[in-house]
Amino acid sequence: MNSRDIRETFLQFFEARGHQRVPSSPLVPARDPTLLFTNAGMNQFKDVFLGVERRPYKRATTVQKCMRAGGKHNDLDNVGFTPRHHTFFEMLGNFSFGDYFKREAISWAWELVTDVFRLPTDRLWVTIYETDDEAFDIWHWEVGVPADRIVRLGKADNFWAMGETGPCGPCSEIHYDLGPEAGCGRPTCAPGCDCGRFLEFWNLVFMQYNCNERGELEPLPNPSIDTGMGLERIASILQGTFDNFHTDLFKPILGVIADELRVDYPTGDRAKDIALRVMADHARAIAFVLSEGVLPSNEGRGYVLRKIIRRALRFGQVFDRHEPYMYKFALFVVDFMKDVYPELEMGKDIVRNACYAEEERFFRVIETGLERLREVLDRHRADGVLPGEEVFRLYDTYGLPVDLAEEVAREAGLRVDLNGFERELREQQERARRAWKGEEALEGIAVYRELSQRYETRFHGYRHLRWEDARVLALLNGQKQSVRELREGERGEVILDETVFYGESGGQVGDIGVLHTPHAQVQVVDTKIYFHRLIVHHVVVREGVLRVGDSVSMEVPYARRWATMRHHTGTHLIHWALREYLGYHVKQAGSLVAPDRLRFDFTHFSALSPSDIEELERMVNRKVWDDYEVEEKFMPLEEALRRGALAFFGEKYPDIVRVIQIGDFSKELCGGTHVYHTGWIGPFVIVRESSIGAGLRRVEALAGEPAVQYLQTQRELVQKALQVVKSSEHELIDRLQELLERNRSLQKELDRLRRKQLEGETVATLFHADETVHGVHVIVRGYTDVPVEDLRVLADRARTRENTVAVLGSRVQDRAFLVVGVHKALTDRLPAHELVRSLAPLVGGGGGGRPDFAQAGGARPDRLEEALREALTLVRQRISASAPSQSGS
């Protein structure tokens, strides 16, 4: 069976048994800080299993996109070296949310594997948790698996938990016996042996317990099922290869890569075959992650993506390729898999541009890394060893491969401290794990998860700003503890059964306003939403006492909400305009919608010109003038996406979604508040465009009254400028250019006079030494308020004099600067960059440069004179140490 048939057969099998076919969720987990990437089929159902989200079905089946290349689940280092480790992979799954349990899960799994996939039963083994007699009985007595093919394993292998606490339970795995030739030869070899003979391909998790904070297992009232079958693994079995890279999921990709590199796969060369497998695997990961709008960066998901791209390029160097090529393979993946995952085609431009740009950046930094490596080798030549921390710094900063560093070091006669490198790498990985907050990030919202299991707030704020007779369901004090009342002056949080307050989400800020009861006046200072239905009002009690059960009336300030609504509808218009004008590679990467401004982050690979900004403003304002109706529609998520509604990756959407449609040109999934017609937005002005990272741009804009205020301020500034330069409006630019040219001319003359003054030494110096040591002319001088540019000119001039060394320093406000110039005949005896590195720490900074010219800067100008005295001492010592010895006969 080919992979497409396997996917469809699996889904149809479970659809026929009452399961809802659910699309794969994005690789970027929605509102789950515990995960870098979606790594299992159950991730999108996590809140359903926890009881804080409800779905209109109790059975589901999916083919889920997954990534294991960061955080706790990381297979990256093994990819390419084994037949089964991957970064990106697909997981087939069936799920029961408190409906069926072990009997159905086990019998259906066996039926699919043996009757539909027709795997030989004499090759199948089963593992169960060591104490799970119920599973044993079902497998043996009801399904008919021989008892000697059911293996009991411990907690590490056959017990699954969502976290330290929460839903958990035993699991049962189905294994395929690859035969004695694939094993260790021991007569006791069975599933659980790490020799590789038994291939686990389907895991059935029986979620029947809740692990409480004391570590005790409590039976769940509604046990559930979560299963996961690796598509790549079952394909390798059904296609008889037992090597994932030989399946139809990888062979076409490997074929394209081999053609590009003019080789055949397998090549017969282990290093090249590993490199080809790495590139094939990583091309899939690159295509899928980039298509979701994640871009290479130095942190989080972007850092993992950067590592994947650079790892592919490092392995690709075995083919001596030094120009971008991975983008071609990623684009092939887009075309190869877009019929299964249409979002790949939508992100094709991002895949091409972002991957190509990152590859170019890699090859540039490799060149820089080699330059730095040669400098480091010079420093450690006498030691004979290149320290591991230096190699790691080059690897981490410039992406310089360790094997390349080894090769260059070997040519220079040095060996590399690989143990030191590995130690630094492990420490960096540990730092990264600590930096990714994981479970700790959820501690603050655990109380809201519990409350959302009991309460739900109905939102009426799309059409109302006032509401009467809502009821207080729960109160939290400042320590997030449940209380019965909040007294005057106290801060806390309020959960109501109904509200018109919008909870911060989708980039839109939360509402503020007031709550009233007959006994209390309460100010709402912010509003948040958790788990889609629990709206939490952050409050200060101004008068009286607010109690659980009170009936309250409420009001959101009209002007603030309408200003926010104008900006929110404005973000939809600027999103449309950016895609229409720049291209459909533009994807929303974040936003802020506030009463006084909007901010819209998007994927794009070059800055916008002033003419681009003007055209975008015109496009938005034309849609405002045409006064299009802003329609609100509710429909199933799949239907909304099929109709072309734009979804925001990283956002979690319910099965029934709200679509905001403007005319026939803008459709977006959105839960925010909007004006009813575009004409109500008022004037729209872009005030700033900037870069916020590689391939990420930001537009900041104003709508309505803030836009008018901005334009008035700009006009006022122009009027003041006209008064200052004594010009009319149409002559303003010419007048400013004339003044700037005059200023430049005066500045040049000032610089000339200052340098002449420096050369004549009429400027007071804080340190001055001018002497000759063993025939070398040594100049050490320090100044106050002399720019570093002037120091460079003087040092550059001094180093042209024969046998001259110049060390110049200057105190400029709260900074100290040092510049060293060395005549070319002296660079072997006294390298400028080594001298400046010795001096820089004295002024609280760092520096570098060439053997003949170097500079440093630091934040301790009070220690400049000390640094200059040390410079004179060092120069004397170096020159004396290298001077020819005096001897007589």
**Which band of pLDDT confidence, cut at 50, 70 and 90, is reported for residue 727?**
confident
Rg over alpha carbons for the chain, rounded to the nearest Å, is: 34
* Residue 186 Cα distances to 183, 190, 412, 843, angstroms: 8, 9, 48, 67
CA atoms of 167 and 334, how far apart (whole Å): 37
- What are the residues whose beta carbons fall under 8 Å from the beta carbon of 536, sequence distance 6 or more? 448, 493, 494, 495, 503, 527, 528, 529, 530
Q: How many residues does the chain have?
A: 889
CA atoms of 613 and 604, how far apart (whole Å): 14
Residue 329 has pLDDT above 80, yes or no: yes
CA atoms of 804 and 785, how far apart (whole Å): 25
Q: What is the mean pLDDT of residues 724-752?
A: 86
Tokens 């040109």 belong to residue: 665
CATH topology of domain 765-881: Diaminopimelate Epimerase; Chain A, domain 1 (3.10.310)
**Which band of pLDDT confidence, cut at 50, 70 and 90, is reported for residue 887?**
very low
User: Over pLDDT 90: what percentage of the chain?
Assistant: 59
Segment (H or E) for 881: helix 864-882
Indicate the average pLDDT of the chain: 90
Residue 61 has pLDDT above 90, yes or no: yes
Domain assignments of the chain as residue spans, ordered by start:
3-246, 251-436, 444-556, 568-712, 765-881
In 231-381, which residue ranges form alpha helices assigned H by DSSP?
231-238, 251-261, 270-291, 300-316, 326-337, 343-346, 348-380
Q: What is the mean pLDDT of residues 103-110?
A: 97
pLDDT at position 50: 78
Q: Looking at per-residue confidence, does 188 or 282 come out higher?
A: 282
Residue 616 has pLDDT above 50, yes or no: yes
Contact 42, 226 (CB under 8 A): yes
User: Over pLDDT 70: what percentage of the chain?
Assistant: 95
Q: What is the mean pLDDT of residues 723-742?
A: 87
- CB-side exposure of 555: number of CA atoms within 13 Å? 7
**Which band of pLDDT confidence, cut at 50, 70 and 90, is reported for residue 190?**
very high
Segment (H or E) for 203: strand 198-211
CA atoms of 222 and 231, how far apart (whole Å): 29
pLDDT at position 648: 76
Residue 757 has pLDDT above 80, yes or no: no
In 124-241, which residue ranges form alpha helices assigned H by DSSP?
133-137, 155-158, 231-238
**What are the pLDDT digits (tens) for 396-454?**
877 777 877 887 888 788 889 999 888 888 887 676 665 555 444 455 677 888 898 88
Q: What is the mean pLDDT of residues 271-293?
A: 95
Residue 236 has pLDDT above 60, yes or no: yes
CA atoms of 715 and 706, how far apart (whole Å): 14
**Which band of pLDDT confidence, cut at 50, 70 and 90, is reported for residue 789?**
confident
pLDDT at position 187: 87
pLDDT at position 523: 97
CATH number of 3-246: 3.30.930.10
Residue 353 has pLDDT above 70, yes or no: yes
Residue 471 has pLDDT above 90, yes or no: yes
pLDDT at position 438: 46
pLDDT at position 2: 95
Q: What is the mean pLDDT of residues 559-576?
A: 97
Q: What is the mean pLDDT of residues 483-499?
A: 96
Dump strand ranges (E) for 374-496: 385-386, 415-416, 458-459, 466-476, 482-483, 485-487, 491-496
Residue 31 has pLDDT above 80, yes or no: no
Residue 889 has pLDDT above 50, yes or no: no
**Which band of pLDDT confidence, cut at 50, 70 and 90, is reported for residue 33?**
low
End-to-end CA distance of the chain: 94
The answer to which of 74-78, 448-452, 812-816 has the lowest mean pLDDT is 74-78
Residue 46 has pLDDT above 80, yes or no: yes
Q: What is the mean pLDDT of residues 76-103?
A: 93
Domain covering 444-556: architecture: Beta Barrel (2.40)
Contact 644, 660 (CB under 8 A): no
Contact 502, 562 (CB under 8 A): no
- What are the residues whose beta carbons fall under 8 Å from the beta carbon of 686, sequence distance 6 or more? 574, 613, 616, 617, 699, 700, 701
CA atoms of 755 and 749, how far apart (whole Å): 10
Q: What is the mean pLDDT of residues 383-402?
A: 84
pTM over 0.85: no
CATH number of 568-712: 3.30.980.10
pLDDT at position 762: 43
The answer to which of 130-139, 332-341, 696-705, 724-733 has the lowest mean pLDDT is 724-733
**What are the pLDDT digits (tens) for 628-678?**
999 999 998 889 988 888 887 666 777 789 999 999 999 999 999 999 999
**Which band of pLDDT confidence, cut at 50, 70 and 90, is reported for residue 245?**
very high
